[in-house]
Amino acid sequence: MEDNKAKIVKSTENSIEIKASMNSKYAITDFKSKIGVKYVPWVDKKGKQFPEELMYLKNNSAMHGRILKSIVQESQGAGFSYDTSTLTSPQAFIEKKNSDGDNLYDVYCKCVDDEYTFGMSARLVSVDADLNIDEVQHIPMFYLRSAVVDAETQLIPGWFYYPGSWTEVKSTSNLIFLKSIDFANMNSAKKDMDLLYKNLYIDKLDNASKLANMFKTNKEVYVLINAPTRDMISPYYKSLPPYIGGLNAIRQDIQIDQYGINKLETGLNVDSVVVWKGDYTPEQKQTLVNDYNSQFRNADRGLQSVHIFAKDDAIKPEVIKLDMNGSNTTYTSINDVTVTKILEAHGVVLRSLYGIETAGSLGSQDELLVGSDLMYKRVIKPIQFNAIKPFNAILDYMGLDNISVDRINISDNQAPTK
């Protein structure tokens, strides 16, 4: 079966063509447990680690990476808003530094990045002997894999953590197991958090020592996952990133850049094929090529001709002009469609917000402000709404006031305030 990914190939005529399938369906991730494996692999249908693939796209597509980082930065906001005058003010808890030196806003910012990049985010929550929350840390989704759903409760008992590439994992012996918890479903009586783990198959002592070494804590810890759009696949889930429909276009953007680099490196810029007919010796062939280039190519600023020698009774050479304009048009057309699809995948309502316009056509200040407001309402605010949920669930559990995220305005030069 032909690979649907964009390709850059050299044709038999020594010209370069871009072959791409813009409408190919992305091979969606396939989350299925394996016999004897206690975690659910997070790979695509080609066996690639899906989080690693998403990080590759983020770091290698200039347009996708820039839009993603801009949306994340705006979603992180300018800080938290909350009431400081009440007895239940969360101020002290928010400003408290965790073991990583982060306050709660720092943890939120890291989680927002994960939530948009991978479609999910995770917090490591430590509790004391009285089940009061001691601290909250960010834990990268990149290193987490879901445990197999518990047959009795039909719930995910927890997540496995491995600080490396999951392609290297051969067994669960070197993994850390983190119990899963949802504070939004905990009542005010602080139910026993271990109820779901009566069938837990992890060596508690061994796991506790791993936790102490990795996260520098001897307290009970739980992982709190936030998945805004859960995609139920068999009995397991992992959320997909919001730009999932644009992955083909993002890959193609990388290929187009590589095409330009290859063209610069090879210097191949062919505009014609010269067919020499007749039976020539190697020395005669070289003389013909040199004479042709000397007479016709000196003023062409880097353009080249491909010379083909065909044994033929005719002696008149044939010059075949390649359609350079057509080639450039094809390249430009594919590039334009790629740009449009990436923008659509990210929900961008105004191209000029990200500088994707020609000089002089970025629009007026009013147009940018209207576009920014639409982008905030349609894209940024929903991200913030979902990203703040687990933090407010934690505050609810502790009996503290909820928080909201301050908006960054494009007309202001704001920095996080809290």
Nearest to 53 by CA among 43, 45, 62, 63: 43
DSSP state of 43: B
**Going residue by residue through the chain (418 aa), what tens digit of pLDDT does each one get?**
334 333 323 333 322 222 233 333 334 455 555 666 778 888 877 778 899 999 999 999 989 999 999 999 999 999 999 999 999 999 999 999 998 899 999 999 999 999 999 998 999 988 877 778 888 999 999 999 888 777 776 677 788 899 888 988 877 778 888 888 766 555 433 444 454 444 444 455 466 667 766 776 667 777 888 876 555 443 445 678 889 888 888 988 887 777 666 666 555 566 677 777 777 788 888 888 888 888 776 555 556 777 777 666 555 677 666 555 545 555 666 677 888 889 999 988 887 777 666 555 556 777 778 888 888 999 999 999 999 999 998 898 888 999 999 998 655 544 444 4
Question: Given the structure tokens 């783990």, which residue do they identify?
Answer: 197
The encoded tokens of residue 188 equal 């005010």
Distance CA 400, CA 88 (A): 5
d(CA 110, CA 108): 5
Spell out the domain ranges in the chain. Answer: 27-267+345-418, 268-344
Please answer whether residues 270 and 14 qualify as being in contact, where contact means their C-beta atoms are separated by less than 8 angstroms: yes
**Residues comprising the chain, all counted:** 418
Question: Structure tokens of 171?
Answer: 């067994």
Q: CB count, 10 Å around CB of 46? A: 9
pTM reported for the whole predicted model:
0.74
